[in-house]
Amino acid sequence: MLQKPAIFLDRDNTLIHDGGYIFEIEKFAWINGAAAALKRFHEANIPVFVVTNQGGIGRGIFSEDQMNHFNNHMIAAASKAGGCITDIAFCPHHPLSPNPAMAIACGCRKPEPGMLFNLARKWKIDLSESVMIGDRDSDVEAGYRAGAHGYLFNQNNLDDLAKHVISTHFSLKTGNANV
């Protein structure tokens, strides 16, 4: 079975500006360089996956349908910019949820690696050759726990980091990265 490397990206403050539990399309705004980074990864034949803690669902701030509507808008905006988001995984749990079923300690809430493992199984991704990028230590830790390389994004310009990641981890592997 052919396995390929991929990019895993956090959503809030890595791809989009986070105004605190963002789910309204009118608040959608790319982080500097995010649309260009998605295009760059797509042109390099590297599949991109978003892994995002969405505790606002568990806390009752927004619904899963509202989050999916927002994420579908983000996927369409990426496509319009020449990029591609292959799939999105999310964790709705939050330790402060008023709903005991959503306040659980789960294997999907970063820094746990469950979302990466699930996407890797579904899409036949080689985690040891993949990269996780996020703005928090918990994002990078989730990548490491999954066996991937991790990068902490400082929110300057995601495309600058994308160039570095591609040249460091994917320059000889992109021919096998089709999903």
Q: Are 166 and 40 within 8 A, CB to CB?
A: yes
Active site residue 12: yes
Judge whether 90 and 54 are in contact, CB under 8 Å.
yes
Residue 42 to residues 35, 49, 61, 101, Cα–Cα distance (Å):
11, 11, 33, 38
**Would you say 96 and 72 are in contact if contact means Cβ atoms under 8 Å apart?**
no
Of 10, 135, 139, 159, the active-site residue reads 10
Q: Which amino acid is at 110?
A: K
Q: Is 65 marked active-site?
A: no
Coil, strand or helix at 173: coil
Query: Each residue of 127-156: b (16+ CB within 10 Å) or e?
Result: bebbbbbbbbeebbbbbebbebbbbebeee
Q: Residues 156, 26: contact at Cβ < 8 Å? A: no
Active-site entry in 12, 135, 139, 159: 12
Q: How many CB atoms within 10 Å of residue 68?
A: 13
Catalytic residues: 10, 12
